[in-house]
Structures are given as C-alpha cells and as structure tokens.
Structure 1
Amino acid sequence: MLGSVVGKGQAQRGMYVAGLIRAFRRSRPEVIVMMEEGFSFFAVQVLLVRWALAPGVPIVFYNNHIASFSNFSYRLGPLYSLLSRLLIPRMTAAFCINSKAVAALKELGFRGPIVEQFYGVNETLFVGISKHDARKKLHLHNDDIIFLFAGRLVELKGVQDLIEAFAQLCHQRPGQRLRLLIVGRGDYESALRQQVQSLHLSGVEFRDVVPQEEMPSYIAASDAMVLPSRTEIDEQFGRVNVEAMLMETPIIASNSGGIPEVIGDAGYIFQAGDVGDLLATMNRFLDNPTTAQQQGKRGKERAMRRFSMAAFATAVVQMLEQVTSRRLR
C-alpha cells in the first residue's frame, strides 16, 4: 500500500494526493488493474501517469455504471459524460458488475475485452452459523419466523412496501409468530417507524447498522432475507443477496435493476413496488418450506461459483493472461 487519497468513499470524486507516481516507479507495471470507474477522477490521474511513466501498458478497469454514459443522474453528470468519452476508449479491458453495465460500455463504443464479474463477497466470512446460536446471540426467539431487511433506510429501498405486506401477512396468519427485523439507518427511518406505529405492528423491530463481521449472525438468525427495492433505484447488484446466498438463507427480492440476474433460480422474485405481489411471494415462501430450503442450497452453489472472492480472483488472472498474452498459472 502506497500513498493516500482525498475524497475517500466519494466514488468518482476521489483523488490520489500521494503515492501514485511512486507506485508506478517502484512496480514498473506490465498491466494496471484499476478498481475504479473509467470516468472517475482516479482514472484521469492513472491515465496521465501511465502516459508519462508507462506508455502502452494495458489498463483494466471496473464498470459499475448501468445506464447510458450520456445520461448521468449526478450533479457532475455532464463532466462524467465527457470524461467517459475521453478516457474509456483509451483503456484496454473491463470488468462489469452485470449485463446492463456491459451493454452500457458497448453502447459507448468500447471495443476491448469485457467480462461480467462481481468483485466478490468474502466467502470465508459468511459461513455456517446455527440458527439457534445466532438467535441466542442476538436475543431473538427460536419460535419466531423472522424476515430480515438490511440496508439503507431510504424511500427507494421499498421498506415501506415490506412493512405494508408484513402487516397484511400478520393479519392473514394470526396463529404464526411472524417477525420483521429491519437493520440499518437512513433519512426515511422516522417515516418507517411512524408507519409501523400507525399499523399497530408489534412484530417489527428496528436495529442500527452493524459491522459487516456481525451480518452473518443476522442472516443466520433469519428465515428469509427480503430486498424490496423500487424500480426507480435500479439496483446494480444487491450485495446482501449474495451474503444471504452464501449462508443458504432464502431470498425474497424485487425485480429492480440487476437483482434477478444475481439471484437466478435461487430465490423468490416479485414485481418491484407491488405490495400485493410481495405479500403473495411471502405467503408462497411460508407455504413451501422444502422449496425454500432447496433454493437456499442452490443459492450457496451459485454464490460460490459466480460471486465469491475466489471466483473474482480467477477472473482477474484470466483477464491478465488475456491482456498480457502470458500464462500466469
């Protein structure tokens, strides 16, 4: 690790303030793997330093952008659109988060090799924990049927739809101990709490954001993970889905953005924003425990094969071999 950055966590607006030139001089790279967007300020710096110190060295970058490069929803959208047209054609190859990101690059006219590959979830962290032990640790009852949402509490995440569907589910199934566990924070939290109060729901519990290393316990304690994102947010991936898949926890998710691609046949998909369809899907999950268990097992197999860090490492090696015409294994 060399140098430092400014604007850490600000995605495209981050910049190296030290270390980039030193890294080039020390490593004398034969290939550059840039885990940043091709229109980011990082990309500007990397291309300039490559021009000065490593001309002709191939650059592999990572594309999360799933819309047209002429249509950015950011305040700096016009600048990003310009940078996309100037920078991306000068790069060699790309990893893309999903098929929409691949299509966006091709629409831009990028002609280099493109591999659709998520950058990986740590499969060694999301390992088997018994439901009993997880619930004991989190002070949850063993007899409850627990639906879990984990993420930002913003309107477009659709948690209000989940709460409404859960209220109707409780009304339809008065004899079952149903619980909804909402983990996260955001500017929509107060509205969600008011919704729960107005519906007189006693089975909904809010918990604050937890560190990633604690998420396996929450997932293991749950009977199903629910991701109810609205279509307007156009989810790129839905990382929590893969985390649940690695732990064989069934998934109930909307068809927003790239979510169906991630889940495949390893979960339940409903129409985003449709409370009735979400309710029907939750009922289908409860009525078919054997099917849910089978989907959980398929989910783990799919996550290990396509979305684990091991899968990404393999894809990176294959890409490096392709752009350098050298065998690395």
Structure 2
Amino acid sequence: MITIVGARTEHWIELFAALADRPDVTVTVVAADVSELTRTELDKLSSRAARFRCHIAPHLLGESRTGHMASVLFCADVSRYVEHRPDIVHVIGEAAYLSTWQAIRSCRRRWPTIPTSLYAAQNIVIDFPPPFPAIERHTYDQVDHMFPITPAALYVLRVKGYSGTASVVPLGVDTSLFRTRRDKEVRRRFTVGFVGRLEHHKGIADLLHAADSIDCDVSIIGAGSLRPLVEQATRRRPGRIVLHPWADHHDLPDHLDRMDALALPSIEVVQRNVVPWVGIPLREQFGRVLVEAMACGTPVVGSNVGEIPHVIGDAGLTFPAGDRAALASCLARLRDDPALTATLSANGLARANRLFSWARIADAMCEAWSGIRLARDRPATGLPGRRRQRHRPPHAIAMQRLEAKP
C-alpha cells in the first residue's frame, strides 16, 4: 500500500509502473488532492497493469487552500481502501505532513505489526510552526525505514532526530520513454530550454537575461505567476523565445530532445505560504527535469542551489546561483564547443541509466522492504516488538535552530 497527495505527483506513476512490473509485487495506491493529469495517468496504469490498484480518496483540506502539500487532509481512514492486509505501507510525503500522520496512524490502528516506510526530500533543517514539529517527531517514532532522495535529505533526518534505518534512493526517470531520439548535431540556432514552474525561485529572469546576452533561442515549457514576464520577452524577441504550455508527460521527451541544453537556474528564496509570519527557506530539493534531460542525451546547466550539483554530477555545468554572466558563459561554452557537448551528453545518458532508472530504484526499494519485513518478523515470540523510542539529542536541536537562521 502506498499513499500519495498533492497536485505535482505525475512522476510517481512511473515508479508505480516499475513496481507493478515485478512478478512478486502488487501495488495499491491511495491518493488525494491530485491533479486531473495524475488521475488520468493512474487510470491508464490501472487498465494496463493487472497488479496495480488505485483509489482517489476525498480530502478535507487541499493544497490549493494553503499552497503547500503539508496541509492536505484525507476525509476518511485511508486503510479502508485496502481490501487485503498489505506487507508494507509506504507513505510518499514528508514526516511533518498532516496526511503522513493520518496514514501512519490509520495503518497502525488496523495493522499494528505491518512495517512502514516514508519518503523524505527536505534538504534544509527548519523549525516548523506547531503542530508540525509534534507530527514530525511522532512520525520518526513510528516509521520503520526512511527513503531520503539525496544525502542532504538523510543529513536533515539525522539532525532532526531520526535514528532508524534509511536508504538514499533518488527520484527516477522512465528510460524507455525518456531517451535520445535523433542526432544531436546543431542544425539551427542554439536553443536552451527550461521546463518547470514559472516562478521567481526557478531563476526565469536570469535565464532570459543570459540567453539575450549570447543571442540564443529559448524554449520554455511551463506555467506560473511569471508568465507575463516570459510573454513580454517573447514580444521583445519574436521567434527567438517560445512559450509552451505544460507538456503531457509522453510529449516531454520530444521537447527535451529538440533542446541543445536544458537550464535549471534556480535561486534560494523564503516562502511564507503556510503560515505568513514563518519564513521557510526554499532550496531545490532535486531537480527531476535534469534527470529526464540526461536520459534524452541533452546536456544540462544548473545553479549551485540545493541538490542541483549532486544530481548533475559529470553530466553538465554548474554556476553560482543568480550570476547571470556565469550562466551565459556556461551556455556559450556548450554552443561553441561540440566536443564538450558530446561528452556531457554521453555522460548524462550513462548517469541516467546507471543511477536514475525507475526500474533500478524499484529494485532497491523492494530489497529494503524485504529487509525491514525480516527485521519485524525476527522476534521468536511472534509478537510485535516494542517500537524504538527515538529522542532528538540536544545538539540536534541546537543545529536545527542555527541552520534555520538567515
């Protein structure tokens, strides 16, 4: 059983498909507050995968009301949607999410001995306002295994007091869908692409300025509050900047394949969309589109914010966040050096297949789940063992407050 909430969740369907492709796995997903596109893709997977089931549960409070997935609340007991006793309960959501607390509480009441695991992407140590710290601590005491998506996310878990087992498992890519489809030689003006939300923290203004300074074309796919800024740029440079609406997941590889480089020039900002008087630093937690571009053989350029350098590795170039001249220099290098472009393209393809294939990630998660099931079954009495009490050491609290300061 897997629970998932929030609008921006389409990419998890690829993991569900990879899990359901295994002959020894049956997947039941309970989702809430997901987008219509996610609903459509879940329905498609249900119709073609015999071992996949999905239930869209009603929700009391959604992301649209607060701007954050942490506030999503299920209307009902999520365990009621599962017909048969599961072997594992996996929650896709941070430890402090209300939906995480609901899902774990519900499953503990109905199946007290079933192991639970949890996704974790938070890469900054933050003091949350009440009631979220209590929810977070309760989650750490209840969950059997954590799946942080980066080493930085694992570090945050340890600082916040989680002392249980964990496996670093990144976000993935469907390498059968995202793949190179044609010769990457430049047959037109150099085109840099962007895929994502058109928001300030994504560095849209920096990208437009850098592209203008080296006179290259720009292909932007996405939507958001900075759409007027992009539309103004398209009028200023007609035919050189093209704005596309959100692309269907199956159409995105073609867009990426037509780009000579993909840029993710994110900057760090402070968001106040949950509680206005509490500022939460927003730092890129992964940058999934980087992996998708790599799998298509498209070189990537990213800022040094958050986990972008970790994800890029040897598959692209990085620059100091907010440095427009440095971003322009990276793009110019790719435009003017075919050998560098070819090397980064080959490195990206190899990196995507070696580290970020959903099939490999599904294998790693199933191996971890088998391990925690064996650990749970180990007591000779056959009775559930006493759950570990995980207290945060004093130095962890001090580090939390120190790192939360601007």
TM-score computed with the length of structure 2 as normaliser: 0.70
Matching of residue 183 in structure 1 with residue 221 in structure 2? yes
Which residue number in structure 1 is paired with residue 161 of structure 2? 109
Instruction: Indicate conservation of the 8 Å contact 2:233/2:241, yes or no.
Output: no
2:312 to 263, 269, 273: 263
Deviation at 1:313, TM superposition (A): 0.3
Count the aligned residue pairs.
304
The ranges of structure 1 where at least 4 consecutive aligned residues each deviate by more than 6 angstroms after the TM superposition are none
Post-superposition CA distance 1:246-286 (Å, at most 9, x none)? 01111111111101110101111111100111111112112
Instruction: Indicate conservation of the 8 Å contact 2:77/2:106, yes or no.
Output: no
Matching of residue 22 in structure 1 with residue 67 in structure 2? no
Deviation at 1:197, TM superposition (A): 4.9
Which residue number in structure 2 is paired with residue 33 of structure 1? 90
Instruction: Indicate conservation of the 8 Å contact 2:119/2:146, yes or no.
Output: yes
1:56 to 113, 136, 139: 113
2:123 to 66, 88, 102: 66
Secondary structure in 2 matching 1:116:
coil
Cα 1:46–1:145, aligned 2, differ >3 Å: closer, same or farther?
same
Which residue number in structure 2 is paired with residue 316 of structure 1? 365
Instruction: Indicate conservation of the 8 Å contact 1:149/1:181, yes or no.
Output: yes
Post-superposition CA distance 1:210-261 (Å, at most 9, x none)? 2111111110111111111113341011111011000111111111110111
Deviation at 1:23, TM superposition (A): 4.3
Equivalent-residue separation in structure 2 for 1:209 and 1:220 (angstroms): 16
2:71 to 10, 13, 35: 13
Post-superposition CA distance 1:110-143 (Å, at most 9, x none)? 11111111242222221232269xxxxxxxx942
Secondary structure in 2 matching 1:83:
helix
Which residue number in structure 1 is paired with residue 134 of structure 2? 82
Cα 1:181–1:22, aligned 2, differ >3 Å: closer, same or farther?
same
2:325 to 262, 276, 285: 276
Instruction: Indicate conservation of the 8 Å contact 2:190/2:335, yes or no.
Output: no
Cα 1:127–1:58, aligned 2, differ >3 Å: closer, same or farther?
same
Which residue number in structure 2 is paired with residue 147 of structure 1? 192
Equivalent-residue separation in structure 2 for 1:46 and 1:185 (angstroms): 31
Secondary structure in 1 matching 2:250:
helix
Letter in 2 for 1:44: W
Which residue number in structure 2 is paired with residue 173 of structure 1? none
Cα-Cα RMSD: 2.3
Equivalent-residue separation in structure 1 for 2:77 and 2:179 (angstroms): 36
Instruction: From the two aligned structures, give the one with the greater helix fraction.
Output: 1
Equivalent-residue separation in structure 2 for 1:124 and 1:196 (angstroms): 34
Letter in 1 for 2:156: A
Instruction: Indicate conservation of the 8 Å contact 1:231/1:255, yes or no.
Output: no
Which residue number in structure 1 is paired with residue 21 of structure 2? none
Which residue number in structure 2 is paired with residue 242 of structure 1? 291
Which residue number in structure 1 is paired with residue 257 of structure 2? 220
Equivalent-residue separation in structure 2 for 1:314 and 1:33 (angstroms): 15
Which residue number in structure 1 is paired with residue 212 of structure 2? 167
1:194 to 206, 229, 232: 232
Equivalent-residue separation in structure 2 for 1:234 and 1:130 (angstroms): 34
Deviation at 1:21, TM superposition (A): 2.9
Letter in 1 for 2:345: G
Which residue number in structure 2 is paired with residue 175 of structure 1? none
Secondary structure in 2 matching 1:118:
coil
Greater shift in the superposed pair: 11-20 or 37-46: 11-20
Deviation at 1:50, TM superposition (A): 2.9
Instruction: Indicate conservation of the 8 Å contact 2:290/2:312, yes or no.
Output: yes
Secondary structure in 2 matching 1:249:
coil
What pairs up with 1:298-313 in 2 under 5 angstroms?
298-313=347-362
Letter in 1 for 2:164: G
Matching of residue 231 in structure 1 with residue 263 in structure 2? no
Secondary structure in 2 matching 1:78:
coil
Letter in 1 for 2:180: G
Letter in 1 for 2:79: I
Percent identity over the alignment is 27
Deviation at 1:48, TM superposition (A): 2.1
Equivalent-residue separation in structure 2 for 1:147 and 1:119 (angstroms): 24
Instruction: Indicate conservation of the 8 Å contact 1:223/1:250, yes or no.
Output: yes
Which residue number in structure 2 is paired with residue 137 of structure 1? none
Matching of residue 123 in structure 1 with residue 168 in structure 2? no
Secondary structure in 1 matching 2:217:
strand
Equivalent-residue separation in structure 2 for 1:247 and 1:321 (angstroms): 33
Letter in 1 for 2:200: E
